[in-house]
Amino acid sequence: MATSREVELLLGSRTIAVVGLSKDPSKESFSVSQYLKEQGYRIIPVNPTASEILGERAYPSLLEIPAEEARRIEVVDVFRPSEQVPPIVEQAIQLRKADGANPKMIWMQLGIENPAAAEAARRAGMAVVQNLCVRTEHRRVAHAQRRV
């Protein structure tokens, strides 16, 4: 379970870059991103083999997103194997240095953990979630808020 601070950051965000977003509707990255989009989030797909996913222009890497759009990225949601996380975090750190504030969070999906990359992101001032599904956490919090 994510902490309340991390969930608040997610709920308060509007733009999420999804690294590893698949074009294949049967893949978890696609269905999770589709859910986020349906909840009102702006999704920026990051996939070197796609030009468009979910009606949004896709980019080969975080650093190839135009600066004007990159400044809006608040959360980097990662759907890549754990060993591929360090360069993704390094790119997010470069974006944060350029902007001074964003991205605010690295979210590694269920089954994805990289303690060294997580520590690097924290040192750069970002919140980090590992091994949790953003859709599951969003639904959990949204359900709890409806009950209050």
Query: Is the Cα dihedral 117, 123, 128, 131 positive or negative?
Result: positive
CA distance 82 to 131: 10
Residue type for position 59: Y
What does the pLDDT read at residue 140? 86
Tokens at 110, concatenated: 């269920």
Q: Which CATH superfamily is domain 4-147 in?
A: NAD(P)-binding Rossmann-like Domain (3.40.50.720)
What does the pLDDT read at residue 97? 94
CA nearest to 19, candidates 72, 69, 89, 95? 89
Cβ–Cβ < 8 Å for 137, 10: yes
Give domain limits for the chain.
4-147
Stretches in the chain below the pLDDT threshold 70: 1-4, 143-148
